[in-house]
Each structure stands twice: as structure tokens, then as C-alpha cells.
Amino acid sequence: MWQFVFLGVIAFLGAVVGGLSSFGAGLLVTPFLVPIVGIKGVVPVMAVAMTFGNLSRIWVYRHEIQARPIFQILVPAMPGVVLGAFLNDLLPRAALGLALGLFLIASIPLRRYLARHRITPTPRAIIGGSLAFGLISGAMPGGGVVVLPLLLGIGLKGGGLVGTDAAIGVCVNIAKVILFGAFSLLDSELVVGGLLIGLCMIPGAYAARWLLQRINLTAHTVLVELLVLFSGASFIWAAMFP
């Protein structure tokens, strides 16, 4: 029982982090899920959880969401989501854990690089970046590290950025839930676990809105990166020393 209480607290904190920056919400929860659902269950459970976590952010920032970028991202992203979910099903546990860990660690310099080099939102850049976002999102948690620079390049910021990113996330995660169900990677117990985590994320979205104007985002980003680094290392350790 204490595991689920602890996981609920982590989910709440992850939602606060994601509501502040659209980065880190799912990444913070994933390493704590492994002992409970196993490496193969992490991405399907988080697909359910992030559906509800993102729905709460949509509600909080509903007046600032922009529809056009949602369609610009989703149309090329969905084929990547299908391929990514298939790869998640195909990879053995150790290989998946190693891939998750390496991606989480690599996401730190990748995010910093993309933040420094704003992507010009040409149609070709949007299609290529969205396809990569879909592929990563289908196979792993943390695909937002790829889509955020695209949304920034389009001109979104603040609540509009967070809300639009959340709307994209809901569509992607619903697709993942359907795909993982079709691949028999998501059973009723994992759905319930994802629902519990997602419900704990809802109040975190409101806390994030309150903190958005009151926190040093540089310090927040460094803290998130340290936690993501720990998450990646824990996945690699679990894969190499099961």
C-alpha cells in the first residue's frame, strides 16, 4: 500500500514539474514504477496516467490553447507513434530498459541543444520533428523533449505552450493506450495503476499554475535534469543487473 501512496506523491510532484515547463512530468515517475510493474509495463502505464495528467493541464490552460499547431504536429506524428509502440512490443526487457535509460540521459544534452538552437518552423522541419516525436513517444516516455522546441519555434509560450503541448499529449497517449491494448501490453491492472497515477497528477496541474509566476525556472530545470539523470541510470542498472 505504501508503494502506491509514495507513487501518488511522486506523480503529484511530476505534474507540478510538467505544468511549469512541459518537461519532466512522466520522466520523474518512470523509475519508481519499475519495481511495481516491471520495465515492460512502464510505458503502457504512463500512457494511461499521462492521458489524465494532460487532460488536467488542458482544463487549466483551456483559454490559451491554439488548435493549428496541434494538427501541424499530430498529423505527421501518428505514424511514428504506431512504429514506436511496435518497437516497444518487439524489444526484450533488458534491451528496452537499456534503451529507456540511454534515452533519458541523452535527453538532457538534447534538450539543452534544442533550446539554444531554435528550430525554424518550416513545413519540412515540423514534419521531421513531429515524426521523431511520435516515434520516441510511442516507444518511451519523454517525447516532449523533441516537440517542445517545435512549439517554441512556432511562437507558443507560457500557458499557451503548456496547454497546447498537453492537447497533443492527450491525443498521442490515447493512441498509445489503444496500441498497447492491441499488443496485449496493457491489462486491467495496469490500467487501474495508470488511472491512480493520473488522478494524482490532476491537483499538480493547479499547483503548477500557482507556481508558474513564483519560481526560478533555471533552478527548477537543473533539478529536473538531475532527477532525469538518476532515472536513466536506474533503468540502465536494472537492465544490466536484473
**Residue 16 · residue 211 · CB < 8 Å:** yes
**Residue 235 · residue 105 · CB < 8 Å:** no
pLDDT in tens, 85-130: 998 888 887 887 788 788 878 877 877 777 676 656 788 888 988 9
Task: Categorize the per-residue pLDDT at 31 as very low, low, confident or very high, splitting at 50, 70 and 90.
Answer: confident
Phi, psi at residue 118, to the nearest 5°?
A: -60, 130
| pTM of the full structure | 0.79
- Give CA angle at 150 (149, 152), nearest 5°: 60
Average pLDDT, the chain: 81
Alpha helices, H only, 117-216: 123-139, 144-154, 158-182, 188-211
- Give CA angle at 11 (111, 195), nearest 5°: 115
Q: What is the pLDDT of residue 213?
A: 63
Other residues' Cβ atoms within 10 Å of the Cβ of residue 233: 14
* Residues 40, 224: Cα–Cα separation, whole Å: 24
Alpha helices, H only, 22-92: 25-37, 39-60, 67-90
